[in-house]
Amino acid sequence: MGYIELNVLNNDQSPQVMGIDLGTTNSLAATWKDGHPVVIKPEHSNSGSVPSVIHISEDGNVIVGQKALDQATVDPRHTIFSIKRMMGRGLADIQDDLEAFPFPISEDENGLLNIDVHGRQYTPQELSSLILLRVHDLGCRAMGGAEIQRAVITVPAYFDDTQRQATRDSARLAGIDVMRIINEPTAASLAYGLDQSASGNVAVYDLGGGTFDISILSIEDGVFHVLSTNGDTHLGGDDFDRALAKLVLDQLEGKLSSDELADPALQQAARLAAEKCKVKLSEQPEAELHLVLPDSGINVRRNVTREEFEALVSPLVQRTLDCCLQALADANLEVGEVAEVVMVGGSTRMPVVREGVEGFFKRLPHTELNPDEVVAIGAAIQAHILSGGSRDLLLMDVTPLSLGLETVGGAVSKIIARNSTIPCQATEGFTTYADNQTGIDFNILQGERELAQDCRSLGRFKLTGIPPMPAGLARIAVRFHVDADGLLTVTAREESTGVKSSIEVKPKHGLTDSAVEQMLEDSLTNARADFEAGRNAGLVTELGTMIHATEKSLPNVIDQLDPEQLADIREAIDAAREASDAKEKDGKSLQSARDALEQATMPLAAVLMDSVAKAALSGKSLSDV
């Protein structure tokens, strides 16, 4: 058996990370591949955008994305959209939105919003986590079934602490480990590499589906500061759609009764037709606005020129520019002091918007990247940097050396990689390796080497009070958190009981720059030997656990195994002992001893699993088996 207990330590560090743009209208993920950020698109699709919409059916079936959006006209009562507007908010904060929501929203005694769907109450965090799950799942599948657990998620620059925390919580509900929450305008600037190319002020103009944000940032030595934000939470592409839809609806006036005109299905169909026409007009000088509603016998066509459209929406563009003026004033800047302008959001594809912005800032804005992808791309770049990858030049404040823990056998499990931008945090799962183990000693290490003895110990602490249970069952989450000052706090918590212990260490102090250099150099020259020593130490531990587990469970099931199977197991145990006890550890023999033991104990594992299952059914605890 042993195989189950083999996960003594979960130090498998997946190098793949994701950046997620969790939008009001659309959400999108990107990752890092072959030295570049790439947007994640499902097969046979030219866009990775997932509409941030959820439909929940009576039997609790949840659909997210385009199919849910299709339900908006059919079943509006149970189709939830604009969840981002509710994140970390109370009823009073969203008064302006309530009328537009066809689903009932209330506030519970803790001030948490509840959205009622088929009588069940959902918090915005839960709903948002469903969108994250979907985007994350698409990402993992597009990456060939990879399990990407860690992600950077973006939020508007104006999000306050509660809204950011709510975003974090929804990620937690989705099983995503948030590496960092970053501002959308910062992500967009990262996508354009502005952190590396320039010092100065940057204006990020973000016109999405339902919201407009203008952020003025300053970049200094690769560090971003938000100087001011402005915008309109009720101004976006939807308003452009409505203006256009009015054209056809006006044409129907007189032909339809006012009740027929107010029909939500007609309104929605007109809006969708208008959006199609609007998108075409971004590419061509003229497009058809075609509204069909077969059930009502409505079929209206109308040609719209770009000129006509632009005249119609120019007040909307002007409103965004008024916000820009205010943002500049708040940042105490003149237009001429803005060095770069970045365009974000699907609506900035409209030429009328680009021209308006160019005229206002008197410079050509950045539009080289897809405006609906830049935020996700920037998030992926940040995720890549946080996971230890670097770009040519890294100017952010970073951890100089990796931080980790000593694991059984003297190996090192790295938890925060070298060069992670601070503040940062990471959580890793551990378990006990001996039966009834009630305490664990943690040795916090700093360095790049694979063996604990070659790294610097920053401190030790003990987690005690773990209830006695079989090896491998305890779930211990160890969290490393480095704050903006480089202060490290390590917290260990046993999940089933909540027993907790923590220590604060100062990794930055005590190590001089030259000591850091030396440790890095050592790790390079010794990397190969280290790698082997580390792997061998791990294998020896693994073999020890396997032998122990096998010998312990063998007597209970000996009569259920063939003599031949028994002989195989005994032989494999002897070989494993020999390889582990050898003075000069040999990686190859350790590995083959391990594989042979695993192979030989398979029938034993099967029998054991069987009896565990039976015991569980009859209510016995695992330790009685």
Among 37, 139, 208, 404, binds Mg ion (CB under 5 A): 208
534 binds, among Mg ion, ligand ADP, none (CB under 5 to 8 A by kind): none
CB of 206 to ligand ADP, least distance (A): 7
Q: Which is nearer to Mg ion, 208 or 534 (CB)?
A: 208
The string over 188-209, giving b where at least 16 C-beta atoms fall within 10 Å of a residue's C-beta and e elsewhere, is: bbbbbebbeeeeebbbbbbbbb
* 280 a catalytic residue: no
Q: Which residue is nearest to ligand ADP (CB)?
A: 237
Residue in 84, 239, 428, 530 annotated catalytic: 84
d(CA 5, CA 340): 55
CB of 205 to ligand ADP, least distance (A): 12
CB of 88 to ligand ADP, least distance (A): 17
Contacting positions for ligand ADP (CB under 6 A) = 23-26, 208-211, 236-238, 275, 278-279, 282, 345-347, 349-350, 372
410 binds, among Mg ion, ligand ADP, none (CB under 5 to 8 A by kind): none
Q: Which is nearer to ligand ADP, 206 or 598 (CB)?
A: 206
Footprint of Mg ion on 1-30 (CB under 5 A): 23
Alpha helices in 452-586 (DSSP H): 513-525, 527-557, 563-581
278 binds, among Mg ion, ligand ADP, none (CB under 5 to 8 A by kind): ligand ADP
19 binds, among ligand ADP, Mg ion, none (CB under 5 to 8 A by kind): none
Residue in 5, 169, 195, 206 annotated catalytic: 206
37 binds Mg ion (CB under 5 A): no
538 binds, among ligand ADP, Mg ion, none (CB under 5 to 8 A by kind): none
d(CA 607, CA 369): 58
Q: Which is nearer to ligand ADP, 47 or 556 (CB)?
A: 47
185 binds Mg ion (CB under 5 A): no
Residue 148 identity (one-letter amino acid): I
Tokens encoding 617: 């059914």
d(CA 461, CA 491): 10
CB of 27 to ligand ADP, least distance (A): 7
Helix or strand (DSSP H, E) at 136: helix 124-142
Q: Which is nearer to Mg ion, 344 or 573 (CB)?
A: 344
DSSP state of 46: S
Residue in 5, 41, 169, 184 annotated catalytic: 184
Tokens encoding 94: 């969203």
Among 497, 461, 504, residue whose Cα is nearest residue 476: 497
Q: Which is nearer to Mg ion, 208 or 544 (CB)?
A: 208
CB of 60 to ligand ADP, least distance (A): 26
Q: Which is nearer to ligand ADP, 234 or 363 (CB)?
A: 234
CB of 339 to Mg ion, least distance (A): 23
CB of 165 to ligand ADP, least distance (A): 21
378 binds Mg ion (CB under 5 A): no
449 binds, among ligand ADP, Mg ion, none (CB under 5 to 8 A by kind): none
DSSP state of 86: G
Alpha helices in 159-263 (DSSP H): 161-173, 184-191, 194-197, 237-252, 258-262
Q: Which is nearer to Mg ion, 210 or 544 (CB)?
A: 210
Q: Which is nearer to ligand ADP, 209 or 538 (CB)?
A: 209
d(CA 47, CA 372): 10
CB count, 10 Å around CB of 432?
A: 23
First to last CA, the chain: 14
Note whether 249 and 270 are within 8 A (CB): yes
d(CA 171, CA 383): 15
What phi-psi label fits residue 345: left (phi over 0), alpha (psi between -120 and 50 degrees) or beta? left
CA distances from 115 to 27, 80, 107 (A): 20, 9, 9
* 206 a catalytic residue: yes
d(CA 48, CA 33): 16
Tokens encoding 515: 């000591």
φ, ψ of residue 129 in degrees (nearest 5): -65, -30
Distance of CA 493 to the CA centre of its chain: 23
372 binds, among Mg ion, ligand ADP, none (CB under 5 to 8 A by kind): ligand ADP
Q: Which is nearer to Mg ion, 23 or 37 (CB)?
A: 23
* 495 a catalytic residue: no
CB of 237 to Mg ion, least distance (A): 11
Beta bridge partners of 178: 151
Beta bridge partners of 428: 478
CB of 16 to ligand ADP, least distance (A): 25
Helix or strand (DSSP H, E) at 512: none
Note whether 433 and 481 are within 8 A (CB): no
186 binds, among Mg ion, ligand ADP, none (CB under 5 to 8 A by kind): none
- ∠ CA(456), CA(457), CA(462), 5° rounding? 165
How many CA atoms, within 13 angstroms, populate the side-chain half-sphere of residue 456? 22
CB of 358 to ligand ADP, least distance (A): 17
Q: Which is nearer to Mg ion, 344 or 519 (CB)?
A: 344
- ∠ CA(514), CA(515), CA(520), 5° rounding? 95
Helix or strand (DSSP H, E) at 447: none
Note whether 189 and 202 are within 8 A (CB): yes
Which residues are known catalytic residues? 21, 84, 184, 206
Binding site residues, Mg ion, CB under 5 A: 23, 208
